[in-house]
Amino acid sequence: MNVTETLSQGLKREFQVVLNAADLKTRLDDGLQGLQGKAKINGFRPGKVPVGHLRRLYGRSVMADVVQNAVNEANQKIVADHGLKLAFEPQIKFPENKDEIEAAMEAKGDLAFTVALEVLPKIELADLSDVALTKPVAEVPDADVDAALERMAGSNRSFSNKGEKAKAEKGDRLMISFVGTLEGKPFDGGTGEGIALDVGAGQFIPGFEEQLEGAAAGETRTVKVTFPENYTAEHLAGKPAEFEVTVTEVQAPEPVTIDDELAKAFGLESLDALKTAIREQIGRDFATQSRRKLKKSLLDALDGKYTFELPPTLVEQEFASVWSQVEADMKDAKKSFEDEGTTEDAARGDYRKIAERRVRLGLVLAEIGEQAKVQISDDEVTQALVERARQFPGQEKQVWEFYRKNPQALAEIRAPIFEEKVVDHLLGQIKVEDQTVSREALYADEDAEGSAEAKPKKAAAKKAKKADKAEDAAGEDASA
């Protein structure tokens, strides 16, 4: 096998591989001889089928295996001889001349093909001795715990009938039935019976609840509203509708009592235990947000330390992923780039920078992790997979089997585990100081320029930094 490098341009490489006809014939004969002892053909005793007969029956099939093995061998040789790290699987190109291919398949001519590669850049790790980070930390305010208690009590409160002539006020609960029409015709999903509506809670279409204030039991009102432009049902979005609403009962909220009985309603033995649980939950959410901000600061520092050529295909794939999300968000919001004060070309440029940043930081973290010998245990992957399966109640088994049978999907489970362990490694190498901040400061600047794992969430494309929101952003705390 003769391998010749024909292109070395940036991170792109191409090699010409030639396997001469004599070598092809030897490999074909070896394959047929191996088949001779296994083939069962009528009229021949086991192991006695002539090689010539096997060649007529299975020659092309065996030669196909020979060619595939030759391609694999060439790829391995190229990577090993040149010390390359591949960004993607090699692209193989065979001659377009059919006669040339036929000659090779019959071992009467040389087999020549091209191997095109895109390699990862060599990354020299930067000195981080001058990096010092601040980790924002916040104490859980008593007011947050109290507010959470109030909401929990409110969600668990009882309502009682106000009486036949009582009129609905904000905070009351109405039992209603309704029939909705578009241009005088009923529409799917526009009717309801025995529906509970809390006046002022914003549960229904904007303007719906307000028109029922002052209604009494037994009263029927015509409620006129317009569905929001971004309404989930596209056939209703932006359209005016009328609802004939009958109020069957007006209920007033009972006073809220925050005591041990409330705690027991939520499975805890006392009010103190409930307060402790709420404080711990908010504290965990604060810690998650604190970690996210510290990680972003770390990635920003890394981004400023590295400049190197990026694999074009990696960038294109990352940009395609980002841009598809942007377009989907813009469509859902029914907005154009002009609505956001920009143009599609400008937005593409901003989002391409995001894609480049994500690829660059991803490669840096991978190199740091490799040199630090960061390992992921099977138990860690299993636990992460269990957590993923739990996100699909009733389908846990199917989700589990899907990931176990798809290495690429399983790699998506491993990747964030690896990244977090690399981040932990880096944070152990640099100076980190805690800085006490308020809750508001901790959650401020949520739209700041994101990190390697960032994923655009906003429909707007005013600035890249306003769209690159971290995938691992903390969930809302118990008081949110």
Instruction: Compute the distance between CA of residue 353 and CA of residue 469 in angstroms, rounded to an integer.
Output: 14
State residue 45's pLDDT score.
55
Mean pLDDT of 130-135: 96
- Residue holding tokens 């229904």? 204
Query: What is the pTM (predicted TM-score) of this model?
Result: 0.75
Mean pLDDT of 357-374: 95
CA gyration radius, the chain: 33
Mean pLDDT of 52-67: 76
Residue 9's DSSP bridge partners are 12
Q: Among candidates 28, 223, 234, 5, which has minimal Cα distance to 117? A: 5
- Residue holding tokens 């992460």? 384
Indicate whether 2 pLDDT > 50: yes
Contact present, 227 and 243 (Cβ < 8 Å): no
Mean pLDDT of 24-44: 72
DSSP letter for each residue of 161-175: E--TTPBP-TT-EEE
Mean pLDDT of 38-58: 63
Mean pLDDT of 277-284: 96
pLDDT category at 52 given cuts 50, 70, 90 is low
Q: Which of 25-39, 72-86, 322-336 has the lowest mean pLDDT?
A: 25-39
State residue 154's pLDDT score.
86
Report the alpha-carbon angle 149-473-300, nearest 5.
140
Instruction: Compute the distance between CA of residue 330 and CA of residue 332 in angstroms, rounded to an integer.
Output: 5
Sheet strands (E) in 138-213: 159-161, 173-182, 185-198
State residue 465's pLDDT score.
34
pLDDT category at 282 given cuts 50, 70, 90 is very high
Q: Which of 35-39, 61-65, 129-133, 311-315 has the lowest mean pLDDT?
A: 35-39
Helices (H) and strands (E) in the chain, counts: 12, 13
**Which three-class secondary structure state does DSSP give residue 185?**
strand
DSSP 108: S
Mean pLDDT of 146-164: 90
pLDDT category at 287 given cuts 50, 70, 90 is very high
Tell me what percent of the residues of the chain surpass a pLDDT of 90: 66
Residue 244's DSSP bridge partners are 179, 222
Residues 37-59, buried b or exposed e (16+ Cβ, 10 A)? eebeeeeeeeeebeeeebbeebb
pLDDT category at 231 given cuts 50, 70, 90 is confident
State residue 323's pLDDT score.
95
Contact present, 237 and 334 (Cβ < 8 Å): yes
Q: Which of 28-42, 203-217, 237-251 has the lowest mean pLDDT?
A: 28-42
The pairing of beta strand 111-118 with beta strand 159-161: unpaired
State residue 464's pLDDT score.
33
347 C-beta neighbours (distance < 10 Å), count: 22
pLDDT category at 358 given cuts 50, 70, 90 is very high
Mean pLDDT of 100-129: 92
Instruction: Compute the distance between CA of residue 41 and CA of residue 39 in angstroms, rounded to an integer.
Output: 6
Contact present, 295 and 149 (Cβ < 8 Å): no
Contact present, 427 and 132 (Cβ < 8 Å): no
Instruction: Compute the distance between CA of residue 380 and CA of residue 413 in angstroms, rounded to an integer.
Output: 10
State residue 352's pLDDT score.
96
DSSP letter for each residue of 57-94: HHHHHHHHHHHHHHHHHHHHHHHHHHT--BSSPPEEE-
Mean pLDDT of 256-282: 94
Indicate whether 214 pLDDT > 70: yes
Indicate whether 80 pLDDT > 90: yes
State residue 40's pLDDT score.
63
Identify the H or E element spanning 23.
helix 21-36
Q: Among candidates 325, 319, 358, 326, which has minimal Cα distance to 454? A: 358
Report the alpha-carbon angle 39-42-47, nearest 5.
35
Q: Among candidates 125, 77, 181, which has minimal Cα distance to 368? A: 125
Q: For 186-198, how does the pLDDT look when each residue is reduced to its tens digit (9 = 90+)?
A: 998 889 999 999 9
- Is 453 exposed, middle or buried (CB count within 10 Å of its CB: 0-12, 13-18, 19+)? buried
Indicate whether 49 pLDDT > 90: no
The pairing of beta strand 173-182 with beta strand 240-253: antiparallel
Q: Which of 69-73, 276-280, 353-357 has the lowest mean pLDDT?
A: 69-73
Mean pLDDT of 203-216: 92
Instruction: Compute the distance between CA of residue 359 and CA of residue 319 in angstroms, rounded to an integer.
Output: 10
Identity (one letter) of the amino acid at 217? Answer: A
Mean pLDDT of 23-42: 74
Q: For 415-469, how does the pLDDT look when each residue is reduced to its tens digit (9 = 90+)?
A: 999 999 999 999 999 999 999 999 999 998 754 444 344 333 333 333 333 333 3
Indicate whether 235 pLDDT > 50: yes
Contact present, 169 and 213 (Cβ < 8 Å): yes
pLDDT category at 37 given cuts 50, 70, 90 is low
Instruction: Compute the distance between CA of residue 119 and CA of residue 10 in angstroms, rounded to an integer.
Output: 9
Mean model confidence pLDDT for the chain: 86
Q: For 391-417, how does the pLDDT look when each residue is reduced to its tens digit (9 = 90+)?
A: 998 999 999 999 989 988 999 899 999
The winner for highest mean pLDDT among 60-64, 95-99, 320-324, 454-458 is 320-324
Instruction: Compute the distance between CA of residue 428 and CA of residue 372 in angstroms, rounded to an integer.
Output: 12
